[in-house]
Structure 1
Amino acid sequence: MSFATLIHRVSLPTPQVSAEQALHLLKEHYGLSGALHPLGSQQDLNFRVDSERGRFVLKVCRGDYSLVELQAQHAGLKYLAEHCAVPVPRVIAARNGEDLLTLTVGGESVHVRLLDYIEGQSLTALDHLGHEVVAGFGRLCGEMDLALAGFDHPGLERTLQWDARHAAALTEHLLPVIADARQRALVADAAAQAQQRLRPLLTRLPVQAIHMDITDDNVVWQRDAGRRWQLQGVIDFGDLVRTWRITDLSVTCAALLHHAEGDPLVILPAVRAYHAVNPLLPEELQALWPLIVARAAVLVLSGEQQVSIDPGNAYSRNNLAHEWEIFRVATSVPFALMEAAILTAVGQTLPPLGSEGFAPLLPGLVGREFALIDLGVLSPHFEAGNWEQAGIDQRLLDEAAAVHGLAASRYGQYRLSRTRPDCANEPDTFPLHVELRVPEGSALEAPFAGVLHLAADGSLRLDGAQSSVRLWGATTSLHSGAALVKGQGLGTVGGALTVQLLREAQPEAPLFCTPSRAPAWQALCPSPAALLGLACDAEPELDAKTLLERRDASFARTQKHYYVDPPRIERGWRNHLIDMQGRSYLDMLNNVAVLGHGHPRMAETARRQWSLLNTNSRFNYAAVAEFSERLLKLAPEGMDRVFLVNSGSEANDLAIRLAWAYSGGRDLISVLEAYHGWTVGADAVSTSVADNPRALESRPDWVHPVTAPNTYRGEFRGPDSAPDYVRSVERQLANIEGRKLAGFICEPVYGNAGGISLPPGYLEKVYGLVRARGGVCIADEVQVGYGRMGHFFWGFEEQGVVPDIITMAKGMGNGQPLGAVITRREIAEALENEGYFFSSAGGSPVSCQIGMAVLDVLEEEGLWENAQVVGGHFKARLEALIDKYPLVGAVHGSGFYLGLELVRDRETLEPATEETMRLCDRLRELGIFMQPTGDDLNILKIKPPMVTSRQSVDFFVDMLSKVFDEGL
């Protein structure tokens, strides 16, 4: 086929065949009738046929297409059905036995075919595709190319507009369709650069049969029972052709770019997956990105052309926005960066620079000792958030130079100062340069022969044959364009000196890059250590994956970790946690750190007391008395005794022992779906199957669970359901008639179930029934108390009751092991018959001092008020999601203990368990830590530090909306 024929085809609109004519064709030639549903296509006419014999696809294309090309497609489908596990459509023969009909419809010659319909959907409309799906596209492409390598047919030798071999000619021909001169120049320049980089590779690219349209339009998916996307098949073999193998992956990757949210590196999982099943040659890997850019140029040009000649084609018109987005993302980064990213993604490296031949850049300082300043995440120079101060890194370098004379930063050390709280995007924390403090006037010499350039920003750039060096803070008397030999003077240091080494002249190379781009940029901007004569590279950090492997090899597996591949977290500040690459994650689940992370008051209190004394509470010291007195001031009137313990589990375990000792009974009533701890006693009364799948079958006979008073999804619903739930308690009391009742334990607000309030009046009635039988009432305030609920300091205040025993822990010590049991004297002293009690760390001087400091800071920083005001704003914003997203069923709780419950159906309340887990995983990608709770794990358990700001709340809810909009 000639290029003239190709140009003719590019100018063709879709066939002018009406739905009525299509139905007539179906009836006459296939004996089918039914409903037709138009399917999008750029130049063909496609209908889904819903008939009595099932679903099919009717394809109508213009007679301009040769029969041998269409026969090649049919032969390819048959070949793949026999040689590839990926499902493809089956061609249905017409009544006359032919699988391809050439007919005249309305005076126009057309080719007609009928194929199987593959059930499922395309992913074109999704804004975001997860890593697994992206990798799935790459794996599919590799598997299909592997299968098609053995296929051949005369119809594959065709001149096709999408064939990358014709991209340059087609681009030149179609450029006039873009009216805007600026856009036209952008497309022309991108296409020219792509062809320039491809030219030396073309003769070494393998050729074979390829699908050449494995895109989000033509791959069919369905969600499985776990709501994960599963591949169903590949459709549309209209672009089947024999050409460069790598073209197939370039088409797939280009299609992924309109789901990239501006980041072209999203294609890397697809590249890795393809390479794993169908290894690519180095030349193919180098050609991939230029082919993607060339494809992007052809897409926008063909799209504009098709809309101009066929304005009624909604498919082409709607696709045009996607095509321009693909072009925008494809041209947003340098070619060299993406080529390096692709190579490093599959474990290949660029050839080394000849760094051993460098002359010293600063010859007068060779052999001098530099102070290398730690600016990383764990740097001892950073505390109490001082890294947020503008210019902190430069100030630290200046201070070090004032003491030591010479100072330098480390190349490749992730900078804490560049972290970005409440930000969905990775921060650019990786330095591709070294900053030095050396005496002004120090001589600078050319480390290699090259041409000097003076940039508009005042920097100098020396471009050599293999490498380039950029300098900021240098002055020179030489003119731009001056040619220098190695070792020739190029200027002097005029201030703070910044040095960046580049593999080739890359004026657009940044000084900092994001962690995900670091491997590629490192390949292009290696360390300048060799030309500085300075060992200034960052020490390699233990990566998160290796650390997790070490943890799993020694730390008992039952002690779970968040996420399958958790980041390594070593620092925190206020309501954020920071990984070793300097990324800040909004902490929305850490109710232990009520004051936030890294609070200087906690650090100083612990340091001071440790320097004085730390022992156990059997010694006589002031802190234990002072802290106990302060706790009693917070307790209801009549409570006058405090036990200090290590944890919430220990507090609840002790409360059970107190109930036994005081009542003389052993039977305890607990509430279903509750969690109280991990000790033997606390676990016995815990019934949450999310925490222990065998919870209901493994309760000891002295524990009597009652129906969970869940007003949203429980057996009885609504605010008036208290009497119905109280009947469950009455039934259990009847079952233990004749035995002494020890008591009743319950969270006054249903914490583990997502912060659900109990129905009004429930605890008042239950407490009355329990006390009438001689039992004691235990309020488990470990999670919901201590001011977290905002309007109430204690959760039981919402119910208007006073328990006999209060247990607490979690935020009492802001992370220090500390819990407490508060009760009345007669209950406390009942335990004396069983011996004395003490807790090693619970009442220690350090724990007591920290406990008092927590109370001080809660008051001084107004954190109870913050929980009320910001927490109120938080709940209002979450409740607004109910009207917008059907998946949001309810918002529970108050203050900084909230639960967002996700359901698939608001009538049946079917829990959206898998969607909730995917939501948490996606939020982690966006810089937020969140986990599910509840027996169905369909509730977001929102319990952040009480320092959480309105800004953080808005960021969290905005990201929830973003993920809901993307689709779960």
Structure 2
Amino acid sequence: MPLATLIHRASLPAPQMGAQQALELLERHYGLSGTLQALGSQQDLNYRVDSERGRFVLKICRGDYSALELEAQHAGLKHLAGQPGVQVPRVIAANNGTGLLSLEVAGQAVHVRLLDYIEGQSLTHLDHLPGAVVAGFGRLCGEMDLALAGFDHPGLERTLQWDARHASALIGHLLPVIQDDAQRALIAEAAEHAERRLRPLVAKLPVQPIHMDITDDNVVWQRDEQRHWQLQGVIDFGDLIRTWRITDLSVTCAALLHHADGDPFYILPAVQAYHAVNPLQHEELQALWPLIVARAAVLVLSGEQQVSVDPENTYSRDNLSHEWEIFRVATSVPLALMEAAILNAVGQSLPAIGSDGFAPLLPSLVGREFALIDLGVLSPHFEAGNWEQPGIDQRLLTEAADVHGLAASRYGQYRLSRTRPDSAEEPDTCPLHVELRVPYGTAVESPFAGVVHQPAAGVVQLDGPQLSVRLWGVTPSLHSGAALVKGQVLGSVNGPLIVQLCRGASLNAPLFCTPLRAAAWQALCPSPSALLGLACNAEEELDPHTLLARRDASFARSQKHYYVDPPRIERGWRNHLIDMQGRSYLDMLNNVAVLGHGHPRMAAVAARQWSLLNTNSRFHYAAIAEFSERLLKLAPDSMDRVFLVNSGTEANDLAIRLAWAYSGGRDMLSVLEAYHGWSVAADAVSTSIADNPQALSSRPDWVHPVTAPNSYRGEFRGQDSTPDYVRSVEHNLEKIAAQGRQLAGFICEPVYGNAGGISLPPGYLKQVYALVHAQGGVCIADEVQVGYGRMGKFFWGFEEQGVVPDIITMAKGMGNGQPLGAVITRREIAEALEAEGYFFSSAGGSPVSCQIGMAVLDVMEEEKLWENAQIVGGYFKERLEALVDIHPLVGAVHGSGFYLGVELIRNRETLEPATEETTALCDRLRELGIFMQPTGDYLNILKIKPPMVTSRQSVDFFVGMLSKVLGENL
């Protein structure tokens, strides 16, 4: 088909036919009646048909289309119907027995077809697609190409506007449709670069029949019970053609780019998945990104042109913003970078660069020893957040040079100084250069023959046949454009020297890149170590997957880790955790590190006490008395005895033993949906099925769970539900008394921590405590999670209920990560345990633990962290509560201060828990730089318990990202 016909076909509007005409056509030719729903299409007219015989798709296209091409589509569908793994629609025969009707309707020639309707939905409207779905598109594309490889039909030999072989001609013709000069020039330049890169490859690109439209519009998906997207089938074979095989994947990847949030590397899972089922040739991999760029240019031009000729076509008009976004992302990075990334994704690489023939860049320093400065995440030079100081890396290099004479950074070592707290974007932490400190005036010589340039102020660039070397901090000795031979003097050092090596003179490489792009950029900007004669490459980092495998092979599997594929965290600062690539994650999980991570006071106090003494608490030293006195000052006046242990589990276990000893009984009341620890006794009173799926069926007979007093989703709801919940306690007490058994006590978090910080119904504890005391039991307030100032309004959770327990247990934040727990009670209860022998904890109450415990209290007071929990925590809750009116999934916000819970539900009447959505949300938040995990028996609550140093900035970042993800149709 000549270009003129191609252009004519590209500019045709959709047929003009109303729904009533379509219904009459259905009745006359298919014997069908029903209702119609318009479906989008750029140049066809499509309707969903709901009839008594089922659901179908009515497709009407202009008579200009070749009947032979439509017959090829039908033959392709028949061919694929017998292929495993690829579901396609059936063609429904008309009354005359044919699958294709060529008619004249209202004076216009049209082709009419009826196909099966595949149930499900397209994903084009979703802002974000999970990585598994991206890979699913690539796998489907590979499987479709495999299935079509053996198919043939004369109608495949066609000229189509979307065929990449004609992209250059079509772009040249359609460019005038763009009115804006800058936009038109940008499209022309991108298309020209793509064409130039494709030209030497096209002769080696395999040709076969392909679908050429496996996009988010034409692939049908449905969610399963776990809310995972499952592929249902492929529709719209209107672009079926014989052309370059790789075109199919380029079309698919281009369509995915408007979901990529600006990141072109987003498509790599699709490339990997395609290659795994249908291996691509090296030339195809090289051609892929230029084809995507060309496709993006065709999309915007065709979209703009179609809107101009068919302004009433809302499908085309609505798609324009997607098409421009695809073009923006496709042209946001150099073609060479994406070629390297695509090759790397499938285990291939660019040709190696021979470095044996390099002359030394700094010949006078050959053999001299350089101080290689560690600027990485674990560098001993960094402490107490000093890496946040501007210019810290340069200062460390200069200081090292002052001492050692020569200093250098390491190529490819992820820089801690470039981490970005409270950012959804990956930081550019990977250096693609080496920075040196050498004496001013040191001669710089050409490592290879080339031409010298000064592309920007302060930059000297030497372009050789294969490589360019870029230098900062050099005064050139020759004018721009001068040719140099290897070893000729290039200039002299005039300041801090930066050296970068690149493939090609035109590559505009950054000095730093993100970890995701590091492998691709390092292929283009290899280490200049050979030029420098310096072993300055970053030490090879332990592969995180290998490390995780080692953990799984030696660490008991019941000790779980967050996330299926967790980042390796080796550093923290304040309310952020930092992985080995220098990415900061906002920590919304850590109620252990109340003061934040890496607090210098903790390091100093621990180091000082370790240098003096650390032993068990049966020795006599001051710290244990001083810390016990500090704890008693925080407790109610009636309490005068402290036990020190290592954890919340031990504290709760000891509290139960105290209740047994004091009461003479064994029977304990505990609350359903609660967690108190992992020891035999603490686990016995824990009833959370999220922590132990067998919790409800494995309680010993001395444990009596009472109805969970959850006034939001519990058996009884609302603030007047207290009497109903108290009745459950009364019922259990009556049962214990009727059996002639002595009640030992009642254990309960005074704020429902495991359910996300839900306040207990008003007066609940006051009534329950009175009932327990009347039967000789003791009341234990488990403050391990909710106490110690975290709630903001109250220091202890029980204060909200206006009660005083008999025993308080605590741990978590009181040691800021040091193993430290405590039990506070009255003397008579404490001494009741002596009848069973003495009690001690070898490490509980050690000098180091006591000093750290006191330092935590000091810092909390000095840095006003309790006040921060009240003020910033109050602001936090207000921001979260505002989401209830915006996002239907947000049912309620519980808690106060820095112990908050966001409960996600599918229905505000039934309160159906949104369990799978909550899991997906937490995984997505991690991608955006936030650590968050679900809680509650249905795992549908975000349990928000960050370090108490959390700032408004972090709150705003968290709520903004949470709102973003909630809007992504989880």
TM-score bin (small chain)? over 0.9
* Aligned partners of 2:477 and 2:489 also within 8 Å: no
Give 1:185-584 correspondences, 5 Å limit.
185-584=185-584
* Aligned partners of 2:585 and 2:929 also within 8 Å: yes
Give 1:466-865 correspondences, 5 Å limit.
466-737=466-737, 738-865=740-867
Q: State which drifts further: 338-347 or 76-85.
A: 76-85
Output the CA distance in 1 between the equivalents of 2:822 and 2:322.
Answer: 59
* Aligned partners of 1:30 and 1:95 also within 8 Å: yes
* Aligned partners of 2:72 and 2:156 also within 8 Å: yes
CA displacement 1:309-359 (0-9 Å, x = unmatched): 111111111111111111111111101001000001101011111211100
Give the letter aligned to residue 97 of structure 1. Answer: G
| SS of residue matched to 1:779 | strand
Q: Which residue of 1 aligns with 2:960?
A: 958
| SS of residue matched to 1:35 | strand
| SS of residue matched to 1:176 | helix
CA apart distance, 1:412:
0.3
Give the letter aligned to residue 91 of structure 2. Answer: V
CA displacement 1:377-425 (0-9 Å, x = unmatched): 0000000000000000000000000000000000000000000000000
Q: Which residue of 1 aligns with 2:907?
A: 905
Output the CA distance in 2 between the equivalents of 1:149 and 1:193.
Answer: 30
Q: How many residues align?
A: 968
* Aligned partners of 1:46 and 1:60 also within 8 Å: yes
* Aligned partners of 1:467 and 1:503 also within 8 Å: yes
CA apart distance, 1:112:
0.4
| SS of residue matched to 1:510 | coil
CA displacement 1:816-868 (0-9 Å, x = unmatched): 00000000000000000111111111110000000000000000000000000
Give the letter aligned to residue 477 of structure 2. Answer: S
Q: State which drifts further: 16-25 or 853-862.
A: 16-25
Output the CA distance in 2 between the equivalents of 1:892 and 1:54.
Answer: 47
Q: Which residue of 2 aligns with 1:26?
A: 26
Give 1:30-49 correspondences, 5 Å limit.
30-49=30-49
CA displacement 1:513-570 (0-9 Å, x = unmatched): 0000001000000000000000000001112211110000000000000000000000
* Aligned partners of 2:670 and 2:685 also within 8 Å: yes
CA apart distance, 1:456:
2.2
Output the CA distance in 1 between the equivalents of 2:880 and 2:506.
Answer: 46
| SS of residue matched to 2:704 | strand
| SS of residue matched to 1:764 | helix
Output the CA distance in 2 between the equivalents of 1:300 and 1:819.
Answer: 63
Output the CA distance in 1 between the equivalents of 2:580 and 2:85.
Answer: 42
Output the CA distance in 2 between the equivalents of 1:7 and 1:819.
Answer: 77
Q: State which drifts further: 36-45 or 558-567.
A: 36-45
* Aligned partners of 1:401 and 1:437 also within 8 Å: yes
Give 1:64-103 correspondences, 5 Å limit.
64-103=64-103
Output the CA distance in 2 between the equivalents of 1:354 and 1:680.
Answer: 65
CA apart distance, 1:761:
0.4
Output the CA distance in 1 between the equivalents of 2:324 and 2:736.
Answer: 73
CA apart distance, 1:451:
0.6
Q: Which runs of 5+ in 2 are unaligned?
A: none
Q: Which runs of 5+ in 1 are unaligned?
A: none
Give the letter aligned to residue 947 of structure 1. Answer: V
* Aligned partners of 1:373 and 1:407 also within 8 Å: yes
Give the letter aligned to residue 485 of structure 2. Answer: V
| SS of residue matched to 2:7 | helix
Give the letter aligned to residue 267 of structure 2. Answer: I
2:170 is the alignment partner of 1:170: yes
Output the CA distance in 1 between the equivalents of 2:11 and 2:122.
Answer: 27
Output the CA distance in 2 between the equivalents of 1:913 and 1:457.
Answer: 56
Q: Which residue of 2 aligns with 1:136?
A: 136
* Aligned partners of 1:671 and 1:708 also within 8 Å: yes
CA apart distance, 1:739:
1.6
Output the CA distance in 1 between the equivalents of 2:879 and 2:362.
Answer: 58
* Aligned partners of 2:477 and 2:492 also within 8 Å: no
Output the CA distance in 1 between the equivalents of 2:10 and 2:926.
Answer: 45
Give the letter aligned to residue 105 of structure 1. Answer: V
TM-score, normalised on structure 1?
1.00
* Aligned partners of 1:84 and 1:144 also within 8 Å: no
Output the CA distance in 2 between the equivalents of 1:691 and 1:757.
Answer: 21
4+ runs of 1 displaced by more than 2 Å?
none
Output the CA distance in 2 between the equivalents of 1:112 and 1:575.
Answer: 63
Give 1:48-59 correspondences, 5 Å limit.
48-59=48-59
CA apart distance, 1:506:
3.8
CA apart distance, 1:176:
1.0
Give the letter aligned to residue 635 of structure 1. Answer: A
CA apart distance, 1:7:
1.3
CA displacement 1:615-641 (0-9 Å, x = unmatched): 011000000000000000000011000
Q: State which drifts further: 863-872 or 44-53.
A: 44-53
Output the CA distance in 2 between the equivalents of 1:672 and 1:540.
Answer: 50
* Aligned partners of 2:884 and 2:891 also within 8 Å: yes
Output the CA distance in 1 between the equivalents of 2:842 and 2:961.
Answer: 43
Output the CA distance in 1 between the equivalents of 2:663 and 2:66.
Answer: 93
CA displacement 1:48-73 (0-9 Å, x = unmatched): 11111111110001111111100000
Output the CA distance in 2 between the equivalents of 1:309 and 1:954.
Answer: 45
| SS of residue matched to 1:752 | helix
Q: 2:883 aligns with which of 860, 881, 884?
A: 881
* Aligned partners of 1:48 and 1:58 also within 8 Å: yes
Output the CA distance in 2 between the equivalents of 1:956 and 1:487.
Answer: 55
Q: Which residue of 2 aligns with 1:149?
A: 149
Percent identity between the two aligned chains: 83
Q: Which residue of 2 aligns with 1:927?
A: 929
* Aligned partners of 1:646 and 1:840 also within 8 Å: no
Give the letter aligned to residue 408 of structure 1. Answer: A
Q: State which drifts further: 628-637 or 172-181.
A: 172-181
Q: Which residue of 2 aligns with 1:914?
A: 916
Give the letter aligned to residue 123 of structure 1. Answer: L
Output the CA distance in 2 between the equivalents of 1:175 and 1:722.
Answer: 72
Output the CA distance in 2 between the equivalents of 1:307 and 1:823.
Answer: 77
TM-score, normalised on structure 2?
0.99
CA displacement 1:358-389 (0-9 Å, x = unmatched): 00000000000000000000000000000000
Output the CA distance in 1 between the equivalents of 2:638 and 2:62.
Answer: 91
Q: Which residue of 2 aligns with 1:104?
A: 104
Output the CA distance in 2 between the equivalents of 1:361 and 1:882.
Answer: 62
CA apart distance, 1:507:
4.4
RMSD (Å), alpha carbons: 0.6
| SS of residue matched to 1:414 | coil
CA displacement 1:146-193 (0-9 Å, x = unmatched): 100000100000000000000111111111111111111111111111
* Aligned partners of 2:445 and 2:488 also within 8 Å: yes
* Aligned partners of 1:543 and 1:568 also within 8 Å: no
Q: Which residue of 2 aligns with 1:946?
A: 948
Output the CA distance in 2 between the equivalents of 1:433 and 1:745.
Answer: 60
Q: 1:894 aligns with which of 878, 893, 896?
A: 896
| SS of residue matched to 1:966 | coil
Give the letter aligned to residue 558 of structure 1. Answer: S
Output the CA distance in 1 between the equivalents of 2:885 and 2:490.
Answer: 66
Give the letter aligned to residue 427 of structure 1. Answer: P
| SS of residue matched to 1:200 | coil
| SS of residue matched to 2:754 | coil
CA displacement 1:473-495 (0-9 Å, x = unmatched): 00013111111111111000011
Output the CA distance in 1 between the equivalents of 2:881 and 2:219.
Answer: 37
Output the CA distance in 2 between the equivalents of 1:824 and 1:274.
Answer: 68
Output the CA distance in 2 between the equivalents of 1:570 and 1:896.
Answer: 24
